[in-house]
Structure 1
Amino acid sequence: MIKITAVDPQDLPAILRIERLGFNEAEAGTAAQYQARINQLADTFLAARDADQLVGFIVGPVVDARFKYIEDWMYEANVQNRAQPGGNQMIQTIAVDPDYRGQGIGSSLLQAIEKQAIQNQRHHIALTCLLDRVPFYEKNGYVNQGIAASAHAGEVWYNMIKLLPSQPHSLG
């Protein structure tokens, strides 16, 4: 049975292994970036575990509401989570071990971070993805906002947003 837990600093090697299985070298985060995320985003860095084995993860900062979409600088800078309620939950990465794909783990990770975001009165969740992943996020309630301004890894990324309940918002 898969459990969603907080990330542990000892998870770094498993995180890097899964990251490299799911992303090419230009797209993948570095060991230093993931170490910083473990240290600074611990409350929004969740792990999917099959017994003691890490099989997936999701991570991203909580930022001020003025940031509607995830931006390239958020991958490079050591972003601190916004402490107080409000703001927006960004997702830098969601990744699942290829041997565990197709079992709903990615959707479970999205649901877990959404639950946290609702509890902390976040306005919406935002991420970018490649075109072939848009249907997965749409199935999970995200709305495609079109091509992102991102130049990350020389790819064409799409902005995806999920509005959260009990918050006044507009996608305009």
Structure 2
Amino acid sequence: MKIEPATVNDLEQIEAIEQAGFNTAEAASLETYRKRLAVLADTFLVARADNSDVLGFIVGPAVKERFVEDWMYEDTPQNLPQGGHQLVFTIATAPTVREQGIGSKLLTALTNVATQAGRTSMALTCLKDRIPFYEKNGFTNVGVADSVHADEIWYNMEKQLKRSV
């Protein structure tokens, strides 16, 4: 397995993983992923099997805002060239490879990208049952998010990053 930037050819597999992992209200469309790839090419990564199948993906913008805000799901912000905060809109793995550490490897890979770009922190929102996974990966639960996305209760998870020297 290798982790590398997503390509246009990956989008159908990314969308299939998205639909398998999120309910209709939570899931983003293929068109949304097309737009995200165009805007967030350097912070949109896939875990790829040796046969080139996409096993999972992670995507989000590097911005001045500390946490994910609902408006960002509709109007993807451009990545800052340096500094700011790395956010995660989505991290997901294919159902056939869950519980194999791929999600943690994707988080580590994006953490490395963010650290090299001088980001201060990495943050995401998640549902309550996902909190232990993110805590295991170095994130801290900083409380209920302001989000009303999909009429769910979301929690802000944050990880402070060490600046690369």
TM-score, normalised to structure 2, is 0.97
* 1:39 and 2:24 matched: no
2:2 counterpart residue number: 3
The secondary structure found in structure 2 opposite 1:122 is coil
Distance 1:133 1:45 in 2: 21
Measure how far apart 1:32 and its partner are.
1.5
Amino acid at match of 1:68: R
Alignment of 1:91-106 (within 5 A): 91-106=88-103
Distance 1:73 1:126 in 2: 16
Measure how far apart 1:68 and its partner are.
1.3
1:23 counterpart residue number: 22
Distance 1:81 1:34 in 2: 15
Amino acid at match of 1:99: T
Measure how far apart 1:58 and its partner are.
0.1
* 1:54 and 2:54 matched: yes
Q: Which runs of 5+ in 1 are unaligned?
A: 168-172
1:136 counterpart residue number: 133
Measure how far apart 1:30 and its partner are.
1.1
Aligned equivalent of 1:108, options 105, 109, 112: 105
1:155 counterpart residue number: 152
Distance 2:17 2:140 in 1: 26
Structure 1 vs Structure 2 CA RMSD: 1.0
Distance 1:68 1:162 in 2: 11
Task: Number of aligned residue pairs: give it.
Answer: 163
Aligned equivalent of 1:71, options 69, 72, 78: 69
* 1:88 and 2:85 matched: yes
Runs of 4+ in 1 over 3 A off after TM superposition: none
The secondary structure found in structure 2 opposite 1:35 is helix
Amino acid at match of 2:3: I
TM-score, normalised to structure 1, is 0.93
Measure how far apart 1:78 and its partner are.
2.9
Amino acid at match of 1:24: N
Amino acid at match of 2:107: L
